[in-house]
Amino acid sequence: MVFPGMAAKWSRPPRLGLTFERRSRLGLEAAEVRETSRGPDLDLKSWRNVQDPFPLYAWLRDHDPLHWSESLSAWVVTRYEDVVAIFDRPETFSSDRFRKIDERYASQRPAVRAVAQVLGDWLVFRDPPDHDRLRGLLQSSFTPKQLASSRDRIQRTVDALLDRAAARGAMDFIRELAFPLPATVIAGLMGAPEEDLEPIKTWSDRLAAYLGGAVDARDNFAEASAGVAGLVDYFRALLRERERRPRDDLTSLMVRAKHEGDRLTRDEVVANCILLLFAGHETTTNLLGNGLFHLLRHPAEAALLRADPSLLHGAVEELLRYDGPVPATVKVATEDVPWRGRTIRRGDMVVPFMASANRDPRQFPDPDTLDVRRHPERHVAFAAGIHFCLGAWLARLEARVVFDTVLRRLPELALAPGEPRWKPMIFLRGLESLPLTWGRT
């Protein structure tokens, strides 16, 4: 799911400073944080910290668990206990931060208005009681039970995508499988025909420039409003069509959804169709990419899965914990809050780092070890509390089918030589590409 709106931008080359090693207070890990001439490099947006943020997370958890980040202009929260506490207090840590940003920028940038109107109806940016109403309505359409046929569709799509590459002996896993699969699956669930995927993807990318990009870049707003306009027109037309001739798809279900005597308005259906479409692809792409990358870097773990596919359920959870696609999200304090001896002021942005919480040794023993037999049930890769990811079951299902099929069909699968490059984002984590090789089948 893509919510927060800050991509990492760096204008300077990575600093190659000294590093220092240190035993944590718990004696459980050795953390290294990059040094700069001005001390430890605590900039979450610096190139090196984006490529490998885990040493910095460890340092922050031990030394500054409520950290004021100059580069994010926000409080950064890194311990498991604190991250969960933030999700547990939605009245104090509001999700309506989108409007806050909108208020700050809208007057200068009218293009934001169009975007704000649509995103303002996304349940992920709403607080109770509106959130609960929208979630109840959406949940009644988007459930594992109603969408039980998804498994077959996913399996067919994965097989078809792999068939295209199998004889070649090599592929870019991101471009050829991890990207097209979730986009095809979610568009199919919504009832969008396959031939519309291309324009949908273009509009969606333009919106991503706003949600994933820097908030003060004028072009991002223009791009986003063009993207939103395309998506709104598209889903309005689809909605009209489904109102006339309902089908067995999510759009038709949302039109009819009722919860405690309530219904979604047409604008809400359109906005939340866009949310599901948007939320449903890049995140899952990155779960597939990050997950397979780490499995192939840990051949003993991949061998365990090959030998006993019943481990797949737990393995997907462990991969989400180990290096999930959504490292952090953004909340806004609605009141002054005392926190670890300091005060978070009303209106301050607070960024809970789920990726750090998931590596907190206070919660997960030996957290930097990938262990597919671990069963890390209480990881927070999908957040927790009232905004817990609505699509978690779908993402998990896609991941299980993909890892199972790929490991089964391509026994000699290996990473192609070369260093991984992570996308320049801090709120989304995914590889630019993932070149793989295997013996031809």
Span interacting with ligand HEM, options 149-157, 301-309, 310-318, 320-328, rule CB under 6 A: 320-328
Burial class (CB in 10 A: 0-12, 13-18, 19+), 221: buried
Query: Quick one: 251 or 284, whose CB is closer to ligand HEM?
Result: 284
Contact 131, 378 (CB under 8 A): no
Span interacting with ligand HEM, options 19-27, 66-74, 169-177, 277-285, rule CB under 6 A: 277-285
**Residues 180, 213, 391, 430: which binds ligand HEM (CB under 6 A)?**
391
Contact 231, 202 (CB under 8 A): no
Minimal distance in Å, beta carbon 317 to ligand HEM?
A: 11
> By CB under 6 A, is residue 384 in contact with ligand HEM?
no
- Dihedral of alpha carbons 179, 181, 182, 187, sign: positive
> By CB under 6 A, is residue 284 in contact with ligand HEM?
yes
DSSP state of 127: -
Q: How many residues bind ligand HEM (CB under 6 A)?
A: 27
**181 to each of 160, 208, 324, 418, 432, how far by Cα in Å?**
10, 19, 18, 25, 16
> By CB under 6 A, is residue 358 in contact with ligand HEM?
no
> By CB under 6 A, is residue 78 in contact with ligand HEM?
no
> By CB under 6 A, is residue 319 in contact with ligand HEM?
no
Contact 431, 420 (CB under 8 A): yes
- Residue closest to 328 by CA, chosen among 17, 136, 77: 77
**272 to each of 119, 236, 264, 269, 369, how far by Cα in Å?**
9, 12, 10, 5, 38
Which are the contacts of 439, defined by CB distance < 8 A and separation ≥ 6? 169, 411, 412
Contact 376, 318 (CB under 8 A): yes
Minimal distance in Å, beta carbon 250 to ligand HEM?
A: 9
> By CB under 6 A, is residue 157 in contact with ligand HEM?
no
Residues 179-198 that bind ligand HEM (CB under 6 A): 186
Span interacting with ligand HEM, options 102-110, 298-306, 382-390, 433-441, rule CB under 6 A: 382-390
Minimal distance in Å, beta carbon 316 to ligand HEM?
A: 9
Query: Quick one: 381 or 425, whose CB is closer to ligand HEM?
Result: 381
> By CB under 6 A, is residue 333 in contact with ligand HEM?
no
Residues 237-276 that bind ligand HEM (CB under 6 A): 275-276
Residue corresponding to tokens 């700050």? 104
- Residue closest to 179 by CA, chosen among 275, 287, 276, 274: 287
Decide: helix, strand or coil at residue 231.
helix
- Residue closest to 1 by CA, chosen among 344, 286, 310, 367: 286
Contact 343, 67 (CB under 8 A): no
Do β-strands 349-352 and 74-77 pair in parallel, antiparallel, or remain unpaired? Answer: parallel
Minimal distance in Å, beta carbon 285 to ligand HEM?
A: 9
Length of the chain: 441
> By CB under 6 A, is residue 389 in contact with ligand HEM?
yes
> By CB under 6 A, is residue 394 in contact with ligand HEM?
yes
Which are the contacts of 77, defined by CB distance < 8 A and separation ≥ 6? 65, 66, 67, 83, 86, 350, 351, 352, 353
> By CB under 6 A, is residue 123 in contact with ligand HEM?
yes
Minimal distance in Å, beta carbon 306 to ligand HEM?
A: 23
> By CB under 6 A, is residue 124 in contact with ligand HEM?
yes
Query: Quick one: 59 or 234, whose CB is closer to ligand HEM?
Result: 234
**Residues 42, 395, 413, 431: which binds ligand HEM (CB under 6 A)?**
395
Span interacting with ligand HEM, options 73-81, 292-300, 383-391, 411-419, rule CB under 6 A: 383-391
Query: Quick one: 50 or 186, whose CB is closer to ligand HEM?
Result: 186
> By CB under 6 A, is residue 280 in contact with ligand HEM?
yes
Site of interaction with ligand HEM (CB under 6 A): 1, 3, 95, 123-124, 135, 186, 275-276, 279-280, 283-284, 287, 324-326, 329, 381-383, 387, 389-391, 394-395
